[in-house]
Structure 1
Amino acid sequence: MRGAVFFDVDGTLVPDGSSGQHLADRLGHADACREAEAAYDSGALTNQEASVIDARGWAGWTPVEVRGFLETLPLVDGIAETVAWCRANDLLPVVATLAWDPVGAFLRDRFGFAGNCGPRLEVVGGRYTGEVAEHIDEFGKRDFAKRFATENGLAMTRCAAVGDSRSDLPLFAEVGLAIAFNAQPAARAAAHVSVVGDDLRAVVPALIAYVG
């Protein structure tokens, strides 16, 4: 295996809004989620504080119900093709995100990603309790990527990351190639390459140039 490519979710694979907001709209706590995400974006709340607020709205729902809601998650074009290209070129495609673990697991299963991370929600008796079982922040996302690389015998210098926001900055600082995709200014400034497009395959030329 030549390397790995770590893909963010919200703002990257999910082009408009966020996976959390998509689910909150269906779980019935859209306003609370929107306010928490805005406060996180402005720096008024930490990721953990925003996650606690969002998690409360999951209480009483089942994983199967949530999985059904994810079937209508808006996604950028070209995910399947980009994942296939990565695998054909000996690069492990991985979901590295702060989106909830059910979101990453859904994308992993649907498109054939090699792994995923994300904060986990507590489930008791087959239903979400509204509590967070495990938090993950931008540094946890970076650490997940480093563990994944180590477990697969890969140096981080042979890995790439595709993302769009400040939650990608710690990971961008570790990989050999950081690609800002439809990104916010902070991510563009930290990236090696900046790409704009409505299809994920727009990042492939940068990956080709990097891996040779």
Structure 2
Amino acid sequence: MSARGIAFFDIDGTLVRSMSSSSFLAERLGHQHELDAAEEHYASGKATNEEVSVIDAAGWRGIQARTVAEWLVDLPLIAGVDAVVAWCIERDVEPVLASLAWQPVSEAIAKRHGFTVNGGPRVHVVGTVYDGTVAEHFDEYDKRDRALELAAKRGVSTDQCCAIGDSRSDIPLFDTLPASLALNAGLAARAAATAAADTDDLRDVLPWLAAWERTLP
């Protein structure tokens, strides 16, 4: 039986507040300064996500996949994630990650907190070691399209979906869905969303989610 609805959650800037997940990993990989500059260019529209991914992936060369997985155990998330996931599951709303974060990041957060993973870019792995190249690019339009594909696969209409995010990468999905929340967001995302909120605790989005959930069949 399909879910009553799907709630899509962005990762960087939304679930991960203090820095991007890529910056968190780049600090350990040794190329944080270069990556942060590239991400600033993406945020301002001066670089594509593809260009940022190539720069970031190069820093992964020679690193064991298990090492990255171990680092991600310590990735700091916004407070209240488990409570919001539990709220969704209790109401037959599927909590899904919709993000441009690397797939190991999505997989780690999903494993820790009970989200569904749904796409993202990948660094190429040879055996058990990252080789520093991008195996799969994934931009804001892929993020939107993968979300819609999942909804169709679940038999859930777009009218039964909502999205929570904070940045440029969320706008195509926001533009497609009837309900969207710009959380701790920049001006462009706020303008595209149907509502906005600022908080350091994800539980504060529950009233908005509850109002959306009441519209579901």
TM-score w.r.t. the length of structure 1 is 0.98
Q: Aligned-pair distance for 1:63?
A: 1.2
Q: What is the alpha-carbon distance in structure 2 between the residues aligned to residue 202 and residue 2 of structure 1? A: 22
Is the contact made by 1:3 and 1:159 (CA closer than 8 Å) also made in structure 2?
yes
Of residues 112, 115, 132 in structure 2, which corresponds to 1:113?
115
SS in 1 for 2:76: coil
Q: Which residue does 2:58 correspond to in 1?
A: 56
Aligned: 1:25 with 2:27: yes
Of residues 40, 43, 46 in structure 2, which corresponds to 1:44?
46
Q: What is the alpha-carbon distance in structure 2 between the residues aligned to residue 176 and residue 89 of structure 1? A: 19
SS in 2 for 1:105: helix
TM-score w.r.t. the length of structure 2 is 0.95
1:44-123 matches, cutoff 5 A: 44-123=46-125
Report the RMSD for the aligned CA atoms in angstroms. 0.9
Q: Percent identity?
A: 50
Runs in 1 of length 4+ with deviation above 4 angstroms?
A: none
Q: Aligned-pair distance for 1:209?
A: 0.8
Amino acid aligned to 2:193: A
Aligned pair count? 212
Aligned: 1:14 with 2:55: no
1:191-202 matches, cutoff 5 A: 191-202=193-204
Q: Which residue does 2:140 correspond to in 1?
A: 138
Q: Which runs of 5+ in 1 are unaligned?
A: none
Of residues 156, 161, 164 in structure 1, which corresponds to 2:163?
161
SS in 2 for 1:129: strand
Q: What is the alpha-carbon distance in structure 1 between the residues aligned to residue 106 and residue 125 of structure 2? A: 17
Q: Aligned-pair distance for 1:43?
A: 1.8
SS in 2 for 1:60: coil
Q: What is the alpha-carbon distance in structure 1 between the residues aligned to residue 87 and residue 118 of structure 2? A: 18
Amino acid aligned to 1:126: T
CA deviations 1:147-181 (Å, max 9, x no partner) are 11001000011101000001100000111210111
Is the contact made by 1:8 and 1:164 (CA closer than 8 Å) also made in structure 2?
yes
Amino acid aligned to 2:175: A
Q: Which residue does 1:181 correspond to in 2?
A: 183
Q: Which runs of 5+ in 2 are unaligned?
A: none
Amino acid aligned to 2:121: P
Q: What is the alpha-carbon distance in structure 2 between the residues aligned to residue 43 and residue 174 of structure 1? A: 21
Amino acid aligned to 1:141: K
